[in-house]
Amino acid sequence: MALGFQRLRVYFDASNRRGLLLPDRPVRLGDVIDDYCPRCRLLLNHDVASLNVGLVAKTTCRTCHNTHDYRNAEAPPKRPTKKQLEKQKLFDEVLAGMGGGGAVPAAPVPTPAADEPAPEPAPPPPVRKKRDLWAELERIRKK
């Protein structure tokens, strides 16, 4: 019994809310609707400023009073930031280096002839010792 009453109430609340959001009458000049304001860069309340064949053509932002074309209450897609563009560029460079289509062929390994001595392996790169400034100072003093 109590449950049925609650269900009935919820039904009425929902119908009221739907009635507020979607009026059955056509949009008129001066109506308040949501739209994206390019100056405020936000979805805000707008007044309908002009209509074209029953459809909203221009709206005026109720916050900054900027009149602009109706944008269907949709924010434009975000432009990538400079940092994101740089990151994408680097990413593309790396991908190009890995070689998807234009793969760089590996250098052929030369096979040493039997009478030729095998080429010496390249010496390991010199390990840079950390400079001990105190030891260097002592050495200079001794000179």
- Residues engaged in binding Zn ion (CB under 5 A): 37, 39-40, 61, 63-64, 66
Decide whether 16 or 50 has the Cβ nearer to Zn ion.
Answer: 50
Please state, in angstroms and rounded to a whole number, the distance separating the CA atoms of residues 13 and 20: 11
C-beta closer to Zn ion: residue 18 or 65 = 65
Using the minimum distance from each CB to Zn ion, give the nearer residue, 48 or 61: 61
- Cβ 68 to Zn ion, closest distance in Å? 8
- In the complex, the smallest distance separating the C-beta of residue 84 from Zn ion, rounded to whole angstroms, is 26
Rounded to whole angstroms, the Cα distance separating 138 from 142 reads 6
Q: Minimum distance between the CB of residue 31 and Zn ion, rounded to whole angstroms?
A: 17
DSSP string, the chain: -HHHHHHHHHHHHHHHHHHHHS-SSPP-TT-EEEEEETTTTEEEEEEEEEEETTEEEEEEETTT--EEE--TT-PPPPPPPHHHHHHHHHHHHHHHHH-SSSPPPPPPPPPPPSSSPPPPPPPPPPPPPPP-HHHHHHHHHH-
Q: How far is the CB of 43 from Zn ion (least distance, A)?
A: 10
Q: Compare residues 10 and 40 and give the one whose CB is closer to Zn ion.
A: 40
**Residue 42 Cβ vs Zn ion, minimum distance, rounded to whole Å:** 7
**Nearer to Zn ion by C-beta: 57 or 64?**
64
